[in-house]
Structure 1
Amino acid sequence: MSPPQLVVGVDIAAASFMAAWARPGHAPSTPQPFDQTPAGFASFQKQLATAGVAPDATLVVLEATGSYWVALAVELHSAGYRVAVANPAHVHNYAKSLPRRGKTDGLDARLLTQFGLERQLASWTPPPAVYHELRQRLVARDGLLTMRQQARNQLHALEQWPVRVAAVQQQMTAVIASLDEQVRTLEQAITAVLADGAWAASAAHLQSIPGLGMVTAAWLLVGTVNFTTCASAQAAANSAGLVPLERQSGTSIRGRPSIGHGGNGRVRTALYMATLSAARYNPVIKTFYTRLREAGKPAKVARCAAARKLLHLAFAVVTKAQDFDPSYQKTPVVSLG
């Protein structure tokens, strides 16, 4: 794809956004405000048209902070603009490298413009409908599980007192029962989407891996958009934050490699929890995990390595469109006699 002829930086908020733009080799323009409404989006596109650059030659850079950016990104993508959704951590670190002191919406818009001019940013494409059908149910399920645990903790705390109000206990028990039912309903809906949705084939391949269940398969598909956002299994592991990072400098810093806190934490957690079962029932993961433990690796280190191995298996079965085969990598013994 040819370099953009115009780069637009957008700092977006709940009710409005600031935008600045520049051609390569030029300084960003004076930031201008627009409303976070359909009318504001139309006014923004009208203003961009005055630059005389076609939408497919214009790159609009936004930060993936919260969800305020989504409506504008979808609108611009539908209009033919190239949209890049930048990682806020990358932008933050880039800003620290510049000799600037102030922070305003206008300065941030200019910063994003400069960031887009200097970096080769990948174009963003809206995910398909099945992504939203799964992700919203998965996020809702996580929220309900958190509320259910809070209710259980409150009920447990009430039961420790010598004086117990039966009506309060009944209310808390009813709340827990209601949350149980809502979780079951969501899980049934997730199962139905995995079985009948656009990603049904991939979901079936993933769930053929022992230890990888419905929830983990759904999070993997959502976190990787059906493994279309990563070109390799290693890239998928990097995206999930499961690749150990070296920490060494000269003779003074020699820290242990660790996975850190970067990457998709929800996918990483799902895979880590899946290893609890996979290390017992998946022949590939069991052998791998056992070997690491026997070599003296701590349990958490071995589980993180097993989670990465599990992700490699998931990438393989989806990209090759075949079910898990535990004997796939085994080499037959050739007799020399």
Structure 2
Amino acid sequence: MKYKVFIGIDVSKLTIDVHLHGIGASKTFSNEEKGFALFLSWVKKYSKQSEPAEMIICFEHTGMYSIKLATYLNDIGIPFAMLPALQIKQSIGIRRGKNDQIDAQRIAEYAWLHRETIQATLLPAKSILKLQSLLTLRNRLVCDRGGYEATWKEQKKALEGKEHKGIFQVYKSLIMNLTVQVKKIEEQIKAVIESDETVKLNYQLLTSIKCVGPVLAANMIAYTHNFTRFATWRKFACYVGTAPFEHQSGTSIKGRTRVSSLSNKQLKKLIHMVAICACAYNPEMKSYYKRRVSEGKNKMSTLNVIRNKIISRMFAVVNRGSCYVDLMKYAA
């Protein structure tokens, strides 16, 4: 669709700074529903000839600060593009100086320059948004617990005697409390999955794959918006940082093919752990890993192939709508 009005918004904790491209008008509003309503009324004064569907509102994805605006625009049916900040930053070239109004102007310029290719963002279902929040909280609690466990273990080696018993009891209590909270979060995650039939079905399909457990399955559903965000598993592999890319230029630079550091590192970590588990407990992956390494292939490269195999299988079972079949059991 061809848009006529291009609006850039710089979202912060308390305010949103708005800029209308071509008109040059800028204004600041509060980052709440009342401010959003005033913002749209202000925009209509400058775009009386345009329908709401002919405008595109572009802003950076700033997590919980931008989700309120995105939800508001989604509910009233106004197109918006919520983009990664790095994508906009790398596209504007060399610039000096910044403030909220300048950032809003640059975002509006980005929307206008990419008017032929920019696509409106579609928010996932509310159950997916809730699942994302729960998984983020679970990951934070697990990381905190791991930090306390590591410190407790090291201090038990270094500090001896009854005078340090109180310190160890505090660590033990913290770890036990965090474990209880993690279990409560996992129960809520399970309840969200059970509440949506399509999410529940995809969850069951994913966990039918060997070594793919509840945590990876839930994260896959959350980050892929229940497998509607990526057209193919290869695009997802690029997003998650397991797709290899060439590093070559002219005759002087002939580097190794390697994966990009621009990735979803949390999801990549989970897939990597599953790949390691598959190499140890999945007979098919174990034999493949040993055979490829014995041929002189790099171990990390082989592990990355297995990561991509797991990704392709997850997308395959969801697209096919049937559980994973272990063909190795039927091999002659």
Give the TM-score, by structure 2 length: 0.91
1:72 partnered with 2:61: no
Report the residue type matching 2:188 in the other structure.
Answer: A
Number of aligned pairs? 324
Report the residue type matching 1:321 in the other structure.
Answer: G
Unaligned runs of 5+ in 2: none
Report the residue type matching 1:72 in the other structure.
Answer: L
What's the counterpart of residue 135 of structure 1? 132
What's the counterpart of residue 102 of structure 1? 97
In 1, the alpha carbon distance for the partners of 2:127 and 2:290 equals 37
What's the counterpart of residue 21 of structure 1? 20
Give yes or no for contact 1:275–1:307 (8 Å, CA) kept in 2.
Answer: yes
Which residue of the other structure, out of 12, 30, 36, is the alignment partner of 1:35?
A: 30
Structure 1 residue 265, shift from structure 2 partner? 1.6
Q: From the superposition, tell whether residues 253 and 271 of structure 1 become closer, same or farther in structure 2 (CA, over 3 Å).
A: same
In 1, the alpha carbon distance for the partners of 2:30 and 2:14 equals 6
2:296 match: secondary structure:
coil
Equivalent runs, 1:139-218 vs 2, <5 Å: 139-159=136-156, 160-163=158-161, 164-198=163-197, 199-218=199-218
Q: From the superposition, tell whether residues 284 and 111 of structure 1 become closer, same or farther in structure 2 (CA, over 3 Å).
A: farther
Partner deviation per Cα, 1:17-71 (whole Å, 9 max, x = no partner): 111123xxxx351321111122211110101222122111110001113431111
1:8 match: secondary structure:
strand
Give yes or no for contact 1:64–1:86 (8 Å, CA) kept in 2.
Answer: yes
Q: From the superposition, tell whether residues 196 and 67 of structure 1 become closer, same or farther in structure 2 (CA, over 3 Å).
A: closer
Structure 1 residue 284, shift from structure 2 partner? 4.7
What's the counterpart of residue 121 of structure 1? 118
In 1, the alpha carbon distance for the partners of 2:109 and 2:91 equals 10
What's the counterpart of residue 282 of structure 1? 282
Unaligned runs of 5+ in 1: none
**Identity rate of aligned residues, in percent?**
24
What's the counterpart of residue 84 of structure 2? 87
Structure 1 residue 283, shift from structure 2 partner? 4.9
Give yes or no for contact 1:248–1:254 (8 Å, CA) kept in 2.
Answer: yes
1:256 match: secondary structure:
strand
Deviates more, 1:3-12 or 1:298-307: 298-307
Structure 1 residue 227, shift from structure 2 partner? 1.2
Structure 1 residue 192, shift from structure 2 partner? 4.0
Deviates more, 1:29-38 or 1:310-319: 29-38
Structure 1 residue 235, shift from structure 2 partner? 1.1
Report the residue type matching 1:324 in the other structure.
Answer: Y
In 2, the alpha carbon distance for the partners of 1:16 and 1:188 equals 35
What's the counterpart of residue 262 of structure 1? 262
Give yes or no for contact 1:207–1:217 (8 Å, CA) kept in 2.
Answer: yes
What's the counterpart of residue 292 of structure 1? 292
In 1, the alpha carbon distance for the partners of 2:295 and 2:54 equals 55
Q: From the superposition, tell whether residues 12 and 248 of structure 1 become closer, same or farther in structure 2 (CA, over 3 Å).
A: same
Structure 1 residue 77, shift from structure 2 partner? 1.8
Deviates more, 1:279-288 or 1:54-63: 279-288
What's the counterpart of residue 271 of structure 2? 271
Structure 1 residue 118, shift from structure 2 partner? 1.6
What's the counterpart of residue 106 of structure 2? 111
Give yes or no for contact 2:279–2:286 (8 Å, CA) kept in 1.
Answer: yes
